[in-house]
């Protein structure tokens, strides 16, 4: 699949809305050096192309509730496609599992779990094990301090030159 061609203005638009999803049309146009109508048309084009997949608020959870962030490595007992599909289908439906990555290396998946506390996390794990979704082993890592949790993607560093 060919990568979309983005020019420097598109990248400025993407950077600006990553940093402030509530930026006004006028402020966005000013920030990227366009008049409002062409800027808005570019923004719509980026949305229609699926490059912008949504707008979200970042909630400072610890200001409203204590919570445990847990990283979990999971290895499945069997590695048939049906086993991966079954595991992923179940994981998608559990709201406390806020991220799941299929990874290469010594484990099959890394999950990010947000739970009320460590006991709630363990109850979640126990429920997963009872569902018999193929988990052979799992390792738990309790996050004790968030050093960096960036949501703004460094697009200029990730895109190929002359995109």
Question: What's the CA gap between 53 and 35, in Å, rounded?
Answer: 24
Specify the DSSP element, H or E, that contains 69.
strand 68-76
Burial-class residue 47 by CB neighbours within 10 Å (0-12, 13-18, 19+).
middle
pLDDT tens sequence for the chain (163 residues): 667 788 999 999 999 999 999 999 999 999 999 999 999 999 999 999 999 999 988 888 888 988 999 999 999 999 999 999 999 999 999 999 999 999 999 999 999 999 999 999 999 999 999 999 999 999 999 999 999 988 888 888 888 776 4
Where does residue 111 fall: left (phi above 0), alpha (psi -120 to 50 degrees), or beta otherwise? beta
pTM of the model: 0.83
- What's the confidence (pLDDT) of residue 163? 45
Q: Please list the residues that pair with 141 across neighbouring strands.
A: 71
Residue 53: C-alpha distances to residues 1, 18, 38, 64 (Å): 18, 11, 20, 27
Q: Which two tokens stand for residue 56?
A: 């979200």
Q: What is the pLDDT of residues 71-116, one digit of tens each?
A: 999 999 999 999 999 999 999 999 999 999 999 999 999 999 999 9
User: Taking Cα atoms as reference points, which of 159, 48, 41, 51 lies closest to residue 32?
Assistant: 41
The helix (run of H) or strand (run of E) holding residue 100 is: strand 97-102
């Amino acid at each position: 699949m060919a990568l979309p061609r983005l020019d420097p203005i598109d990248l400025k638009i993407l950077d600006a809305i990553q940093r402030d999803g509530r930026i006004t049309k006028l402020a966005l146009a000013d920030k990227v050096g366009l008049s409002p109508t062409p800027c808005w048309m570019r923004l719509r084009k980026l949305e229609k192309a699926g490059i912008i997949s949504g707008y979200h608020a970042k909630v400072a959870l610890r200001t409203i509730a204590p919570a445990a962030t847990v990283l979990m490595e999971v290895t499945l007992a069997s590695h048939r496609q049906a086993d991966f599909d079954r595991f992923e289908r179940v994981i998608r439906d559990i709201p406390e599992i806020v991220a799941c990555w299929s990874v290469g290396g010594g484990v099959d998946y890394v999950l990010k779990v947000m739970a009320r506390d460590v006991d709630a996390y363990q109850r979640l794990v126990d429920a997963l094990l009872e569902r018999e979704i193929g988990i052979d082993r799992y390792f738990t890592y309790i996050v004790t301090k968030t050093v960096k949790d960036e949501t703004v993607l460094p697009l200029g560093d990730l895109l190929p030159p002359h995109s």
